Every structure is written in C-alpha cells, then in structure tokens.
C-alpha cells in the first residue's frame, strides 16, 4: 500500500509543469505579443489555417499585419487600459468572426481567438438577466449545503453540461462530491470520495490563480506554439490564464477513462484558499462561448464570496449558541452547593454541551457516571491511562480503542474521550465520551493506487470502480471549540469544588467553635449552679435550726429528704463539672508505665472498701501506654470502685491485665466477678447520669463514673469495650496507643 | 479600737451560714459585712480588721483584685485574709496564694461540713495563732 501523501509518484505528478505546456487546444488560435514593441513573438501553429504562406513571415512583425489595422488598434487600446480581467472583442479576422480575448502574461500579451459558431447568437441582455437570477438564488442560501446545491443547479442551467458537481476538498486534499446536478440517465457521483492524487498539487496551485478551465474535448491533438520558446526570454510562455491552454495528457487520459469528453471547471475559493471546484462533465465535446464562460466564472466568484460569509456565520452562530448554553448551565451549577449531585441531575443537558454520550466525574475517590454506562473495568482502564499521561492539561483522543485497549471492544459506544484534570491531585478528572462516528466512505476507485513504477510515464488510474472503506473506532473529532468549552467547564467545576471545600472548612470551624462554646457553657453553668444549691441547702438547715421544735416527725423527714435531694443535685453538678473538665483539659500524653498509674488508683479506691472482702490482682508487668497519668488513674479508680460496688459476692475480685491489640495499640482489661450487665443495656452504661438500678441501690452514685472513663479514653484517641455475662462478671477493655 | 472580722460576701445564704456558724462557735468579735470589693476597700481604709473572710466571686471588683490591693498596701498587708470560695480550681488556688492569701477555704455544700471548717478556722486564727492588732 502506497502512502499517497509522500509517494514519489505523486510528487512526479505534481512536478509536471502544466502551466507551460507549449501548446494549445485546437479549437482556437493564439498570438503572443511583446508588450513593448507590440510585435508578434509567438504563434500557434494552426495560424496556418488562417493565413497562407509561411508562419515565420508573421513573427516579429507588428500586430496590424495579422489582424488588420482596425482590430490591431482595438487590441492595442485594450492593452493600454491595463485591465486585469481578460477583455474581449468580437471582430472579424481573416474573413472569419471571432471572440478575441487578451490578457497579460509576464512580458507578453496573449491574444486568443475563438471562432464564433454559426447560429450561436448570444442574447446579452438575457444572459445578464439569467446571471442576476442565479446570483439572487445563491444569496438565498443559508447554509453551505444549500449554497452548493444551488451552485450546481445554476451552473447546470447556465452551461448545459451533462453533469455538474460541486467538489469539496478535505483537509488532506482528497475530494468529495457534495452537490450534483445531472441528467436522469446518468449514474450519480454524489457522496463519492476521490483521492488527493486525482487533482495534484500543480493543478490545485493553478486553480487558485486561475478561476476557470475549459477542455472542449479530451481527445485532441495539441497545437504547438511557434517558436516553442519566447524569443525575448528564451523561456516557455506562461499559459496559466490562457483559455486555450493545452492540458496535461495525464488529465486527458483520466477524463477518457471516466468516459468524459468535454469538461469545464470553475474554482471555489474561500479566503484565498482553494475550497473546492465546480466540475462540469459532458459525454460529447462541448464548447462554451466566451460570454457564457464569463457567466459561469461569475457564479464561481459569487459563490466563493458567499462561502466565506456563510461558513463564518454558521460557525459563529454555532459558537454563540453553544457558549450561551454552556454559560447558562454553568451559572445554574454554581448555585448548587453539591455540584456533583447537580451535574448528575442535569446529565442530559451537560452531555449535550460537548455532544457526548457519556461522562464520568471522579473527585476525592468518588466516581459519578452520567449517560451511557460503561463496564467498570473499562472506566478504570481509562483512568489508569489518564493517570499515566501525567498531564496537567486537557487530554483527548478520537481513537480510544488504540490508546486504551480495554475500550476497543466497546468502540461503538465509546470511541472518543476528552478529559480535563480537576484540582491538583492527578486522580480527579472530568471525562466525556463520544460514540463511534461510523463512516462509510465510498471511493470512486481504490485510493491506494500504485505509483511505484516510475519508468512508465505517469498514467491516470483506469479504475473508477466503487471502493468502500469503513472507518471504525473513531469518534467525531474534538474541535478547538470543544476543547475550549471543556476548559471553561473545568474552570467552573474547579471553582465549585473550591467553594465547597471552603464551605466545609467553615462549617467545621463553626462546629469546633460550638463545641468549645458548649463545653464552656457546661463548665460555667455547673460552676454557677452550685451557688443556689448551697442556698437551698442552707435555708433548710437554718429553718430546722430555728423552728425545728415546732415541726412534727414527718416534717423533719420531709425536710431531710429535701436536703438530701439538694445534695444529690450538687453531686450531679460536681460530676458534670468534672466530666466537662475532661473535655477541656490539656491531654499532655506521654509514655507511662501502667503499674504506676494503678498504684495511685488503688490508693484512691481502697479508701472506700473498708470492711469489705476485696481481692485485686494486678499483672506485675503491664505495658507502657501513651497517656495522661492523672486521667488514667481516675479511669482505673472509677473502674475499681464500680467493680467492687456492683458486686454481691462474698469475695469480690478484680483482675487487671493487658493483651496485644491492633498494631500500635495496647489493650488493658479490668475484669470483675460482679453482677454483670444485661446485653441490652451494654450500650447505655456509658451515658452520663444513666442508671440501671434504683437510685439508692449499690451505694447510690451519680452515674458519671463510666461516662468519665469513656470520655477520657476517647480523648486519648482510644476506645472502650465491654463484655459481660449477667451474674458472672464484667470485663472492660481499654484500647490505648502503646 | 475594737477588732472586727470582715466578711466580704454578696450572696446572702452564704453570709448567713458564716454568721450563724460564727455565732454557734461563740465568736465575740463583731462581724462586719461588705457586699462587694469597693465597699470592702473603702471600709479597710477607715478601720483595719483583725481577720478577713473574702469571697472571690464578687460583683464589680473581682475578689482577687481586692486581695491584691490589700496585700500591696504596706499598712494592710499584715491583715490575714482567708479566701473563701466555691471555685475549687487548682489554678485559682495557686493564684490566690501567690497574691498573698493566708488561707484558701472551699465553700462546702453541706452546712454541717461548713460548720466543721469554721470551727477549725476560728480555732486556728482566733484562738491558736497570734494576730497583729489583736490583744492576746
């Protein structure tokens, strides 16, 4: 398979100098006149048909000798006007009537004579009218396709060719027939693609400088110029703008292979570049008079002017509406605090912004999918690939199967990917997917023609048989415009993420503040509540002191109860105060030998046990833990006190030992043989003030001990666990950092 | 001049408890009550008490301020001050002593406990140790 762009065959084609063929088509006559001397430099050999005698006698002679003084004077008059567009006369020369067209080429005037066919009278006014109508129709077109269809129609009506096509060049210079007007009995070429080599670079360059080419018949014998080289310059004559220019024999063979005899093409330029051609084909020879040709050229020029405007307006309008849609969407997005949720809710609209059929948003490890669902392994593979790109900017491909093999089997659903990174982590992306833009390209003939044998003169391809190429695994390409849109969306999404993070931080700090406030409140409240309690207590006391004699027995009892209640409230407040202090105190954790802590705890607890049979076994080699020794002493004091308090046995035992915990942690266990805790109450025992027994049972108590244990342990970043069998005993497991 | 015992206390129940306590114990020195720091500082300018019971939780001038003022006055600093407060925090206790408090007493919840404390205080300050400005 030969790569058409770089093959030397193609370059050979391109090198053929088609603008200096040194000959003309035989349906007219050519004279090259020196611009300074106004003498004849070169003639086409077929002048011999017009003048008898030796052609060389005419060379170097003034114009008037060949044309006659009258015509010569008119010709000279036109030359002096310095017109750029070829000017035309209708005159008699050598007894025959001609359309005479003259134009400048380098240091020469080229004068071309085309015989007027008998009976082919042109009604100029009608022609101009027709042209006016044609132009008006063209101007009505709103989009490119309409314009091209109208061009084909108008050109067909004007020129009468069997087939008129509008042929558009793709970026790689292969062409496509995008509009066509043809006779009913002919096979349509609409939608066919032609390889770039069919119209080589030389030709394309010429077509950009010269608006129109005519070939009367593809089967002609070229008429050489005499002399072959211009006598002044010793160079061949540049026939770029010549109407009679003889064309490349390769091109003629090409036309013959296609079954075309007469042909004409008019250029379509857009902003100075060759955009396409209006190609006209006829099955038999066809010649257009100069005036008609001029009309046809005009169609091309007007269409070209309109093209630029239409394509610009189309693109502009599309961009504007897309931008408006995008901005509207992004504004609404900004209003939502949880934009990820908002995005998912408005998924169809979001996907539309980039003509995508699916999207994935991955932020902070959370992945949300929109639109077309894809198997998780495929999406994972895509993210892996994205991560490997190590790109801080947009990444895109329209051949996902090639980049991510896992996606290849899903090409119909996803062939294109465009992704923008979010935040700076490299793991957060916003990804859009596009489905396969299945294209079936119909080639007129195999585009991979073999040009490798350079020994042969260049031959046009002989086969125009339909060659179908299926383009698979590709999505519609991501345009500059798409990428711009993606960047805008990325900016908006990033802004949303930032706002959300800020809001979360703010909420966090507000919560922290509230916590602090709450703690302060608890502390202050409990502190200040003690004062009125003292007041109540004292009042009762003084009342009894002053009036005790006058009060009956029950009265005394009731007052005693009141006093006790006030005391109890005081204890609760003290407990609450103590509890809040745990939350407010500096932790000051450091490695501490637990045996030392337990010594202290035992001292505290033992004072409560006088008269009771208590045996405490403490493992002698308890490990070290990071903690605050004072707080831990209180924890163990509380646990020891409880173990003895909630125990009906004769001999109350408490075992304290340690065991291995999860990595970096150590577990201290306090096991008693007390009354145990029913399973359904296990979760309640740490609640402050929560009692499982009547107020005065088991020696009373406020109900703060275990709450403080839990608060302290959790303050250390650890945890408390309880295991218990009712009537057997309870074990408290304290998990701390080792 | 008769020596008085100054009690600086704004909360009536607390003052009453103290007064009753003193009476039951049998203290004969007159009790003077001031309800806030300003009143107290004004009083000690006119008459130097033999002993001061000072509540820290006062409206207006803070109790510690009163203590500081008295202890920086060359004339008054010899007057023993028993700080009497419901605030049991370590820092406050240390601060009071640092300023120059002679004793720090917690206000007890139960009147019986308060009575016991008062007995000890009275026994110590008024019956055991010698106070400047008081006849033996």
According to CATH, the topology of domain A480-584 is: Helix Hairpins (1.10.287)
Collect all residues with Cβ–Cβ distance below 8 Å to A454 and sequence separation of at least 6: A8, A9, A12
pLDDT for A86: 60
Please give the Cα distance from A663 to A300 (Å, whole number).
Answer: 83
Name every chain B residue with its beta carbon within 8 A of the beta carbon of A535: 11-14
Residues A686 and A707: beta-carbon distance below 8 Å: yes
- Considering CB atoms only, which of A534, A545, A567 is closest to B13? A534
Collect all residues with Cβ–Cβ distance below 8 Å to A111 and sequence separation of at least 6: A30, A31, A32, A33, A75, A100, A101, A102
Collect all residues with Cβ–Cβ distance below 8 Å to A507 and sequence separation of at least 6: none
Please give the Cα distance from B68 to B91 (Å, whole number).
Answer: 16
Residue B58 pLDDT exceeds 90:
no
Same fold across A480-584 and A588-737: no
- Just give the CATH number of A23-115: 3.30.450.20
A316: which 2 tokens? 């502009």
Question: DSSP per residue over A32-49, as a string?
Answer: EEETTT-BEEEEEGGGGG
Please give the Cα distance from A601 to A579 (Å, whole number).
Answer: 18
Residue A108 pLDDT exceeds 50:
yes
Residue A72 pLDDT exceeds 70:
yes
Residue A550 pLDDT exceeds 80:
yes
Pick the CATH number of A588-737 from 3.30.565.10, 3.40.1390.10, 2.30.42.10, 3.30.360.10: 3.30.565.10
Name every chain B residue with its beta carbon within 8 A of the beta carbon of A539: 13
A424-470 pLDDT, tens per residue?
A: 666 788 999 988 876 667 777 776 655 544 445 556 666 666 766 77
Q: What is the mean pLDDT of residues B68-92?
A: 87
- Best residue of A528, A536, A541 to probe chain B, by most B CBs closer than 10 Å: A541
User: Alpha carbon of A34 to those of A102, A108, A588: distances in Å?
Assistant: 13, 5, 108
Let me know if A62 is exposed, middle or buried by CB neighbors in 10 A (0-12, 13-18, 19+).
middle
pLDDT for A447: 67
Enter the ipTM. 0.77
Name every chain A residue with its beta carbon within 8 A of the beta carbon of B59: none
Domain residue ranges in chain A:
23-115, 336-435, 480-584, 588-737
- Considering CB atoms only, which of B11, B16, B107 is closest to A542? B16
Please give the Cα distance from A539 to A555 (Å, whole number).
Answer: 15
What strands, in cross-sheet order, belong to the sheet with A665-672? Answer: A614-618, A652-660, A665-672, A729-737, A719-725
A555-609 pLDDT, tens per residue?
A: 898 898 898 888 888 888 888 878 877 776 777 888 999 999 999 999 988 888 8
Please give the Cα distance from A652 to A608 (Å, whole number).
Answer: 14
Please give the Cα distance from A454 to B69 (Å, whole number).
Answer: 117
Q: What percent of chain A has pLDDT over 90?
A: 29
Beta-carbon separation of B16 and A533 below 8 A? no
A52-65 pLDDT, tens per residue?
A: 777 888 888 888 88
Closest residue of chain A to B10, computed from CA coordinates: A531
Interfacial B residues in 95-134 facing A (CB < 8 Å)? 107, 109-112
Please give the Cα distance from A87 to A132 (Å, whole number).
Answer: 21
Pick the CATH number of A336-435 from 3.30.450.270, 3.40.309.10, 1.20.1740.10, 1.10.287.310: 3.30.450.270
Give Cα A42 to chain centroid, integer Å: 62
pLDDT for A119: 65
Q: What is the mean pLDDT of chain B?
A: 88
Beta-carbon separation of A531 and B86 below 8 A? yes
Number of Cα atoms under 13 Å in the Cβ half of residue A492: 22
Q: What is the mean pLDDT of residues A152-176?
A: 92
Residue A532 is inside which H or E element, if any? helix A480-547
Q: ∠ at Cα A76 (A73, A77), nearest 5°?
A: 85
pLDDT for A403: 87
Name every chain A residue with its beta carbon within 8 A of the beta carbon of B86: 527, 530-531, 534
Q: ∠ at Cα A155 (A152, A160), nearest 5°?
A: 115
Q: What is the mean pLDDT of residues A280-288?
A: 93
pLDDT for A220: 92
Closest residue of chain A to B108, computed from CA coordinates: A534
Beta-carbon separation of B109 and A570 below 8 A? yes
């Amino acid at each position: 398979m030969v790569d058409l762009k770089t093959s030397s065959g193609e370059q050979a084609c391109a090198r053929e100098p088609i603008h200096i063929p040194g000959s003309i088509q035989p349906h007219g006559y050519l004279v090259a006149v020196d611009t300074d001397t106004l003498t004849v430099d070169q003639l086409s050999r077929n002048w011999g048909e017009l003048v008898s005698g030796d052609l060389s006698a005419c060379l170097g002679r003034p114009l008037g000798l060949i044309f006659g003084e009258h015509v010569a004077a008119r010709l000279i008059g036109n030359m002096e006007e310095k017109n750029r567009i070829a000017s035309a006369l209708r005159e008699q020369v050598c007894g025959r009537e001609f359309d005479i067209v003259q134009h400048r080429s380098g240091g020469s005037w080229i004068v071309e004579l085309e015989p007027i066919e008998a009976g082919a009278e042109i009604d100029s006014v009608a022609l101009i009218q027709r042209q006016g109508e044609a132009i008006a129709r063209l101007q009505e077109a709103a989009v490119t396709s309409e314009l091209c269809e109208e061009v084909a129609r108008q050109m067909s009506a004007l020129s009468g060719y069997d087939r008129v096509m509008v042929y558009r060049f793709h970026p790689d210079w292969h062409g496509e027939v995008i509009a066509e007007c043809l006779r009913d009995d002919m096979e349509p070429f609409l939608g066919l693609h032609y390889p770039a080599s069919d119209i080589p670079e030389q030709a394309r360059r010429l077509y950009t400088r010269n608006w129109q080419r005519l070939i009367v018949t593809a089967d002609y014998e070229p008429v050489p110029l005499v002399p072959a080289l211009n006598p002044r310059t010793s160079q061949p004559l540049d026939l770029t703008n010549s109407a009679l220019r003889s064309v490349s024999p390769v091109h003629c063979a090409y036309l013959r292979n296609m079954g075309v005899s007469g042909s004409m093409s008019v250029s379509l330029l857009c902003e100075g570049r060759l955009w396409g051609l209006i190609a006209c084909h006829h099955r038999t020879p066809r010649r257009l008079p100069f005036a008609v040709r001029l009309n046809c050229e005009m169609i091309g020029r007007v269409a070209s002017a309109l093209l630029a405007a239409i394509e610009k307006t189309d693109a502009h309008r599309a961009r504007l509406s897309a931008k408006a849609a995008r901005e509207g969407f992004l504004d609404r997005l900004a209003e939502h605090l949880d934009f990820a949720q908002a995005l998912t809710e408005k998924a169809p609209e979001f996907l539309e912004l980039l003509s995508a059929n699916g999207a994935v948003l991955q932020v902070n490890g959370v992945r949300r999918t929109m639109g077309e669902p894809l198997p998780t392994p495929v999406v994972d593979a895509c993210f892996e690939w994205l991560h490997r790109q190590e790109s801080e900017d947009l990444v895109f491909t329209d051949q996902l199967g090639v980049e991510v093999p896992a996606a290849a089997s899903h090409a119909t659903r996803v062939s294109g990917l465009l992704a923008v990174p979010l935040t700076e982590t490299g793991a957060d992306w916003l990804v859009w997917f596009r489905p396969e833009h299945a294209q079936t390209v119909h080639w007129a003939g195999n585009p991979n023609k073999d040009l490798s044998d350079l020994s042969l003169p260049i031959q046009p391809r002989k086969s125009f048989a339909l060659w179908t190429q299926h383009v698979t695994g590709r999505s519609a390409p991501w345009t500059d415009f798409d990428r711009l849109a993606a960047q805008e969306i990325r900016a908006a999404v990033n802004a949303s993420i930032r706002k959300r993070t800020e809001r979360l931080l703010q909420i966090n700090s507000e919560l922290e503040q509230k916590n602090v406030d709450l703690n302060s409140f608890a502390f202050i409240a409990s502190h200040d509540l003690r004062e009125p309690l003292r007041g109540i207590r004292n009042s009762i006391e003084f009342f009894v002191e002053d009036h005790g004699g006058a009060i009956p027995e029950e009265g005394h009892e009731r007052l005693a109860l009141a006093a006790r209640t006030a005391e109890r409230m005081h204890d609760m407040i003290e407990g609450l105060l103590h509890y809040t202090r745990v939350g407010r105190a500096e932790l000051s954790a450091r490695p501490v030998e637990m045996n030392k802590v337990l010594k202290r705890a035992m001292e505290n607890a033992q004072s409560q046990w006088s008269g009771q049979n208590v045996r405490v076994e403490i493992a002698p080699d308890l490990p070290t833990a990071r903690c605050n020794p004072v707080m831990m002493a209180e924890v163990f004091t509380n646990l020891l006190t409880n173990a003895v308090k909630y125990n009906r046995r004769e001999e109350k035992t408490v075992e304290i030992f340690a065991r291995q915990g999860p990595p970096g942690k150590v577990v201290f266990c306090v096991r008693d043989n007390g009354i145990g805790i029913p399973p359904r109450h296990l979760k309640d025992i740490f609640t402050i003030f929560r009692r499982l027994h009547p107020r005065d049972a088991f020696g009373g108590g406020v109900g703060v001990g275990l709450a403080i244990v839990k608060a302290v342990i959790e303050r250390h970043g650890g945890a408390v666990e309880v295991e218990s069998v009712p009537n057997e005993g309870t074990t408290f497991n304290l998990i701390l950092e080792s | 001049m008769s020596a008085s015992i100054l009690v600086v206390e704004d909360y009536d129940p607390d003052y009453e408890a103290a007064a009753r306590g003193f009476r039951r114990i049998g203290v004969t020195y007159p009790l003077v009550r001031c309800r806030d720091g300003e009143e107290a500082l004004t009083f000690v300018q006119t008459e130097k008490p033999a002993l001061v019971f000072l509540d820290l939780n006062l409206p207006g001038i803070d109790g510690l301020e009163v203590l500081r003022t008295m202890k920086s006055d060359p004339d008054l600093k010899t007057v023993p001050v028993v700080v009497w407060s419901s605030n049991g925090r370590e820092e406050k206790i240390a601060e009071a002593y640092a300023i120059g408090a002679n004793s720090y007493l917690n206000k007890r919840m139960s009147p019986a406990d308060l009575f016991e404390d008062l007995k000890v205080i009275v026994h110590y300050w008024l019956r055991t140790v010698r106070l400047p400005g008081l006849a033996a």
